[in-house]
Amino acid sequence: MSRIFSGIQPTGRKHLGNYIGAIRQYVEGQDRGEAIYCIVDLHAISVAYDPEDLRERLYDTTAILLAAGIDPGQSILFRQSDVREHTELSWLLSAVTAHGDLNRMTQFKEKSAKQRELVSAALFFYPVLQAADVLAYRAGEVPVGEDQVQHIELMREIARRFNERFGAGLLVEPAHRVPEVGARIMDLQDPTTKMSTTSGAEQGTVYVLDEPDALRKKFRGAVTDSGSEVRRGEGKEGVANLIEILAAVRDSDQASIEAEFANSGYGDFKTAVGDEVAAFLEPVRERYAELRPDQAALESALAEGADRARTIAAETLIDVRQVMGVGAPTGT
């Protein structure tokens, strides 16, 4: 059975792109292999943040994952900072990580440009900790969105370099898994940019927890173009985005969506997409409302997951420390 690992940022306002591109993949992964999912609070502190808000958002995210169908009995769900093997392994892996590789990371360039006061070393080092997150579990598969593929390639390079220096097969080179449809959901008001909780317009961002009427209004107001045909093509980025969203929600293909709505106007099409997305997310929103108030239960689920995760990660650290000559020899 393959081992699957992925991490998710602790921002409670998860949007449709997060849900389709990552969270739904997490749920499906439970039936394909040994699934390990981490809420990465240590990554969250690499940019400006509020400590109290971070804790609240972490519980929000935990509740959303559980509401979406993550089963703590079937999967391992935990908080990153509860498993200190992640931070230790990140330092050990820094010995085989090239400074130049980190300097070329697109996300570092984009995020550092947005920091007004401080570009932290943590932001620069982020990909090494991310590599440690995955490599600690010797996971073979990482479900991610398109924007994380560069990071997975760096993980593979770090694992390869480590194995070449210290012993073949010690660390697993993970492969990314990107959904065929819905890997890149765009902003409804600016379909040339990816949907985002930090840089997108409120009306262009569809949140998992949006009330149905508010969600439908966002789709009715989605930017399209001056034409009327429901199809993909040059200059039709807004329509193409809606087609992809509906295809992802239905677990269908884009061509069938185009065929179905070939004789429909934009108004009817946008209404249909809004209705189906609202129905798609409603069970998650309702289940979240039941789970979120019981913070003690959320904390219990995370703590149990951390215990299970720590057992796996500790085995990797023993091997890594031994071959690197760090600490007391095994058996001493």
Q: What is the reported pLDDT for 12?
A: 66
User: Which domain does 260 fall in, by range?
Assistant: 202-290
**Would you say residue 312 lies in a domain?**
yes
Express each pLDDT in 273-310 by its tens digit.
999 999 999 999 999 999 999 999 999 999 999 999 99
Same domain? For 251 and 299 the reply is: no
**Would you say residue 213 lies in a domain?**
yes
Nearest to 176 by CA among 5, 30, 15, 31: 5
Same domain? For 310 and 283 the reply is: no
**Would you say residue 208 lies in a domain?**
yes
Express each pLDDT in 156-187 by its tens digit.
999 999 999 999 889 999 998 887 777 789 99
Query: pTM of this prediction?
Result: 0.92
Per the listing, tokens 């149905």 go with: 212
Q: What is the reported pLDDT for 177?
A: 85
Residue type, 262: A
Length of the chain: 332
d(CA 242, CA 257): 10
Express each pLDDT in 107-141 by its tens digit.
787 787 777 778 888 999 999 999 999 999 999 99
Distance from the first to the final alpha carbon of the chain: 33
**Would you say residue 197 lies in a domain?**
no
- The tokens describing 24, both together, are 């739904």
- Specify the number of domains making up the chain: 2
Check residues 79 and 124 and name the one with the higher pLDDT: 79
Express each pLDDT in 93-104 by its tens digit.
999 999 999 988
**CATH number of the domain to which 35 belongs:** 3.40.50.620
**Would you say residue 188 lies in a domain?**
no
Same domain? For 278 and 315 the reply is: no
d(CA 35, CA 6): 8
Is 70 exceeded by the pLDDT of residue 221? yes
Same domain? For 77 and 156 the reply is: yes
Q: What is the reported pLDDT for 316?
A: 97
**Would you say residue 39 lies in a domain?**
yes
Is 70 exceeded by the pLDDT of residue 332? no
Same domain? For 162 and 228 the reply is: no
Same domain? For 156 and 243 the reply is: no
Nearest to 310 by CA among 72, 143, 78: 78
Longest dimension (CA), the chain: 75
Same domain? For 155 and 133 the reply is: yes
Q: What is the reported pLDDT for 106?
A: 80
When pLDDT is cut at 50, 70 and 90, the band that residue 1 belongs to is low
**Would you say residue 332 lies in a domain?**
no
Q: What is the reported pLDDT for 113?
A: 75
Same domain? For 227 and 316 the reply is: no
Check residues 147 and 317 and name the one with the higher pLDDT: 317
Same domain? For 225 and 78 the reply is: no
**Would you say residue 195 lies in a domain?**
no
Check residues 79 and 118 and name the one with the higher pLDDT: 79
Q: What is the reported pLDDT for 117?
A: 79
When pLDDT is cut at 50, 70 and 90, the band that residue 58 belongs to is very high
CB 210 within 8 A of CB 218: yes
Express each pLDDT in 268-280 by its tens digit.
999 999 999 999 9
